[in-house]
Structure 1
Amino acid sequence: MEPYRIKVVEPLALTTPQQRQEALRRVSYNLFDLRADEVTIDLLSDSGTGALSAAQLAAGMAGDESYAGSRSFYRFHETVSDLTGYAHILPVHQGRAAERVLFSSLLSPGSTVLSNTHFDTTRANVELAGCTARDLPCPQAADLDSDQPFKGDIDLDALRDALETATPGSPVAAVVMTVTNNGGGGQPVSMENLRRTAELCRLHRVPLILDAARFAENAWLVTRREPGYQDRTPRQVAEEAFRLADGCVMSAKKDGIVHIGGFIGLNDTELAQKCERLLIATEGFSTYGGLAGRDLDMLAQGLTEVTEPGYLAERADIAAHLAQRIRAVGVDIVEPAGLHALYLNAGRLLPHVPPHRYPGHALACRLYLDGGIRSAELGSLYLGEEDEDGNPVKSAPYELVRLALPRRVYTRSHYDHVARTLEHIAKNADSVHGYRVVDQSPILRHFSIKLAPAD
């Protein structure tokens, strides 16, 4: 059972199929543009969508809103320093701000950043710095159905080759390890893989940076799956992971269980000073970084709650419950199931919809039409490219739909509704049609794209 009781409730938005059809037409079939009060179950993202605890709200009431040197900052700083061990901690308003500040300070145009998998904003911030973002997922990640425990790992052979063949004219500026690997199906990274990555980075004098948005969930899966870690606590595993890297960026809207906030952690004093100067110019003074004091206090409390075994066990259990229900209705997911999201294999469910007609997006739209459920496509709409006539130039390797699970928000009966909706769709999969692009942005197009049903 959930290790908490509910103290405050919010009504769900209950709409009719006709209302949902009209809403989709109005937003040109872009689920990001739906109003929240048009969505019944919102699984678009787990970022900033969790429920605060009573202790977090109480901490927020003690927030010190002094412009500089607030008590809230020092409580936050102590908590993050104890967790990560980094010498320099800079607060920011969210993860993409951390990426922008760090990459603007660390990267030079023409260099390359290697990763197990860059997520969308990470890739965008690397490219905006004039650099190349290159993914090196491990070979096991290619088999969506296997029960391999650490498909989030980086390919160590490919990493070694990339580091050894880099030249002064095209250097590797950093290695970013995303834990858990969101773009790779929410799969965890093993401590062995992280340790060997750190050794390669030290050998080639390339900084290793953690994208630590879901560090606690990665740590929990390590304690469940990796030999030698069964007797370790998630907190102990997390502390070890942070100390293997040279620094981190974190969107605390995930495993900080807050609605806004993040941080940069670094050991390099010179780099930290460059980041601090940019932070002050663009985010806010270095002791608030664009956050209110109450946000810093709630974040500090969230970082202590997120590694509690009871909290993580329940989060894993509810994800497993939904995964079992989805499998039972005949829809495949990326295996094994993780914690923060489940990834539906839309390409397999809708083989009649070609990649350039976006089967993932088609499934996401049908989930909304049939059940009021909002989700996120991670397929050829997210990763693909077409020419000006709409012909495919590049398709994604897999056509997925992410069901992101907000923290402490929905109960099992809510997720049973999701499974029942998928069951109805699976029984009528031939009726699901594809979409074509009407208008798009040249970068991060999935956020603002406009589509229409395909002819």
Structure 2
Amino acid sequence: MIAYPPEPWRIKMVEPIKATTREYREQAIRDAGWNPCLLRSEDVAIDLFTDSGTSAMSDRQWSALLRGDEAYAGARSFYVFEAAVRGFYGYEHVIPVHQGRGGENILSRCLIRPGTHIPGNMYFPSTRAHQELNGATFHDVIVDEAEDPQAALPFKGNVDLDKLRAVIAEFGADLIPYVSLAATVNMAGGQPISVANLTEVCELAHAHGIPVFLDTARAVENAWFVKQREPGWGDRSLAEILLALCAPTDGAVMSAKKDSLANIGGWIGLRDPVLAEQARGLVLLYEGLHTYGGMTGRDMEAIAAGIAESVDEAHMGARIAQLEYLGGRLDAEGVPIIHPIGGHCVCVDATAALPQIPRTRFAAQTLAAAVYVDAGIRGVERGGVSAGRDPVTGENRFPPLEFLRLAVPRRVYTRAHMDVVADSLIRVHRERDRITHGLEFAYEPDHLRFFQARFRPVSGSSIW
């Protein structure tokens, strides 16, 4: 039996889950245009669509809500929030935003001009969308192993320094406003970047006068992998490693809905006071006053408490163990998953699971629909649908990885829930030959289409 430590918390409040029949779920997914994102949450038994904003807050966080100062300007809660970010992440200038993509929007508007180029360790849909909408082209400089589901590299989020040098040589530093790094890398399956590689990237970029900005949404999870896998870091605390990851960078964008265990909120952290003033000015236009940024005082108090809880090693150890348990069960039964298992999700390799479905018929989207019909489990496609269309050619992008992401919310589900998920994926995998055709677009929005797109089976009224 795969090791599974007891959860380091007790349950004080529960939310009922509605039982549904297969026939009910078949109609529900059909009504949702074969897009699990468009399902009503009450029709979902186990919701693994995202770990963003879906965590269970602690008693300390709920208590912190009552301390919220809702003053429009200069609320006490902002300074509590600011001190937590400074203390644990190390950035002097802390600018609140309503969530991570608010920060992506502000940073892109501050730094990008048309015709520029952004290198990074694999794209994320909303990050790249903001970069492209402001006129930049994204260049993937991640190591090749990140695109191989079976590669066992411990840090598949690392940057290939030769690829980065090639981008700088081709376009010149003046046309590269910044390097965009993620820790961990979502679209590679939650894979971490090492402290050594991140530091080398910053040294190379800074030698050319190029700043480096870090997506820290899951940087504590990244710190856990550093502690477990990177030589010289095993005796350091998660808090120390988190500071070390951020230290060489020029700033960060944070969705506090991930590591910080909050249901809403985020921040931009910066070192340059001039850039910080520019960002605050745009926050006033797009988010709210620079001391609340679209959040309530309650939100900021809950985030501050969540930041401190996020670096607790018992919490993070149990979280990663839960993912390893789920992934281990799938792996043992031959369900093809991305290796190593990531920090926030288990990812099923859809091209290997459904080889009969061509990329143009969206195997991961098809698999997501099948798993929902089977047991009411909601995951999300990461592949051709999420990648969108090339803004120049209009052609669909098909990244090397096409997978169903099962993102597990923090402190929400138990081992029994993980067993239900595993049993369903194993069952669908055993019956995979019944899935003979995929999906095509019935409606396709212009941006972040995986959220609102609607699909239809290529043949008939069902996918199996």
TM-score (norm 1): 0.97
The answer for the alignment partner of 1:60 in structure 2 is 65
Of 42, 49, 52, the match for 2:47: 42
Structure 1 window deviating more from structure 2 (37-46 vs 143-152): it is 143-152
Task: Work out the CA distance in 2 between the residues paired with 1:426 and 1:238.
Answer: 38
Question: What's the counterpart of residue 254 of structure 1?
Answer: 258
C-alpha deviation, 1:394, in angstroms: 4.2
- Output one character per residue of 1:416-440: Cα deviation in whole Å (capped at 9) or x when no partner: 0011111111111011231111120
Alignment partner of 1:119 is 2:124 = yes
Letter in 2 for 1:294: R
Among 294, 299, 311, the alignment partner of 1:295 is 299
Could you tell me how far 1:392 is from its partner in structure 2?
7.7
Aligned counterpart, 1:362: 366
* Counterpart selection for 1:419 from 415, 422, 431: 422
What is the alpha-carbon distance in structure 2 between the residues aligned to residue 17 and residue 218 of structure 1? Answer: 38
Alignment partner of 1:162 is 2:167: yes
SS of 1:202's partner is helix
The question of whether the paired residues in 1 share the 8 Å contact of 2:147 and 2:401 is answered with: no
Alignment of 1:79-158 (within 5 A): 79-158=84-163
Q: 1:281 corresponds to which letter in structure 2?
A: L
Aligned-pair distance for 1:167? 3.3
Give runs of aligned pairs for residues 65-80 of structure 1, distance below 5 A: 65-80=70-85
Q: Which of the numbers 436, 439, 446 marks the counterpart of 1:435?
A: 439
2:462 aligned residue = none
> Aligned partners of 2:77 and 2:128: how far apart in 1?
32
Q: What residue in structure 2 maps to residue 171 of structure 1?
A: 175
C-alpha deviation, 1:122, in angstroms: 0.2
SS of the equivalent of 2:188 reads coil
Name the aligned partner's letter for residue 158 of structure 1.
K
* Among 394, 398, 401, the residue aligned to 1:395: 398
Q: Contact 2:388/2:447 (CA < 8 Å) preserved in 1?
A: no
Cα deviation digits, residues 252-287 of structure 1 (max 9, x gap): 100111000000000111111110001012211111
The equivalent of 2:236 in structure 1 is 232
Tell me which residue corresponds to 2:198: 194
Instruction: Kindly indicate whether the alpha-carbon contact (under 8 Å) linking 1:260 and 1:295 is maintained by their aligned counterparts in 2.
Output: yes
Mind listing any 5+ residue stretches in structure 2 that lack a counterpart?
Answer: 1-5, 460-464
User: Could you tell me whether the CA contact under 8 Å between 1:138 and 1:155 is conserved in 2?
Assistant: yes
For residues 91 and 393 of structure 1, the distance between their equivalents in structure 2, rounded to whole angstroms, comes to: 35
The answer to whether the Cα contact below 8 Å between 2:147 and 2:188 also exists between their aligned partners in 1 is no
Matched positions, count: 451
Letter in 1 for 2:110: S
Structure 1 partner of 2:309: 305
Aligned equivalents of 1:146, 1:178: Cα separation in 2 = 19
Over residues 21-47 of structure 1, what are the superposed CA-to-partner deviations in whole Å (9 max), with x where a residue is unaligned? 111111111111110001000000000
Q: Is the 8 A contact 1:329 1:419 kept in 2?
A: no
Letter in 2 for 1:100: N
- Given the alignment, which residue of 369, 383, 386 partners 2:387? 383
Is 1:12 paired with 2:21? no
Q: Select 1:353's aligned residue among 351, 354, 357.
A: 357
Of 312, 333, 336 in structure 2, the residue corresponding to residue 329 of structure 1 is: 333
Partner amino acid, structure 2, of 1:278: L
**1:201-280 aligned within 5 A:** 201-280=205-284
Residue by residue over 1:176-207, the C-alpha shift from the partner in whole angstroms, topping out at 9 and shown as x without a partner, is 11000001111000011101001011101111
8 Å contact from structure 1 (residues 329, 426) kept in 2:
no
Residue equivalent to 1:33: 38
Determine the C-alpha separation between the residues in 2 that align with 1:398 and 1:128: 24
Distance 2:450 2:18 in 1: 25
Structure 1 runs, 4 residues or longer, greater than 6 Å off: none
The offset of 1:447, in angstroms, is 1.2
Question: 1:73·1:293 contact (CA, 8 Å) conserved in 2?
Answer: yes
Deviates more, 1:89-98 or 1:124-133: 124-133
Q: 1:282 aligned to 279, 282, 286, which one?
A: 286
1:251/1:393 Cα in 2 relative to 1: closer, same or farther (>3 Å)? closer
For the residues of structure 1 that align with 2:206 and 2:259, how far apart are their CA atoms? 28
Residues 98-135 of structure 1, C-alpha deviations (whole Å, 9 max, x = no match):
00011101111111111101211000110111111221
Distance change >3 Å, CA 384–CA 68, structure 1 → 2 = closer
* Cα offset, 1:393, TM superposition: 5.3
Could you report, residue by residue, the CA deviation over 1:341-399 in whole angstroms, capped at 9, with x for unpaired residues?
A: 0110111011111111111111100100001000001112222659xxxx985423122
SS in 2 for 1:344: strand
Aligned mates of 1:393, 1:448 — CA distance in 2: 17
**8 Å contact kept, 2:388–2:448:** no
AA in 1 matched with 2:383: G
Comparing 438-447 and 60-69, the one that deviates more: 438-447
CA contact (8 A) 1:384 1:396 kept: no
Q: Give SS of 1:73's match.
A: helix
Q: Partner of 1:51 in structure 2?
A: 56
Structure 2 letter corresponding to 1:35: R
Q: 1:384 to 1:395 in 2, by over 3 A?
A: farther
Describe the superposition over 1:210-242 as per-residue Cα deviations: whole angstroms up to 9, x where unpaired. Answer: 001001000001000001111111110000111
Q: CA deviation at 1:8?
A: 0.4
Conserved? CA contact 2:35–2:365, under 8 Å: no
Using the size of structure 2 for normalisation, the TM-score is 0.95
- CA, structure 1 residues 408+190, in 2 after alignment: closer, same or farther (shift >3 Å)? same
After superposition, what is the alpha-carbon deviation per residue over 1:2-61, rounded to whole angstroms, capped at 9, x for unaligned?
A: 010000000012111111111111111111111000100000000000000000011111
Displacement of 1:442 in angstroms is 2.3
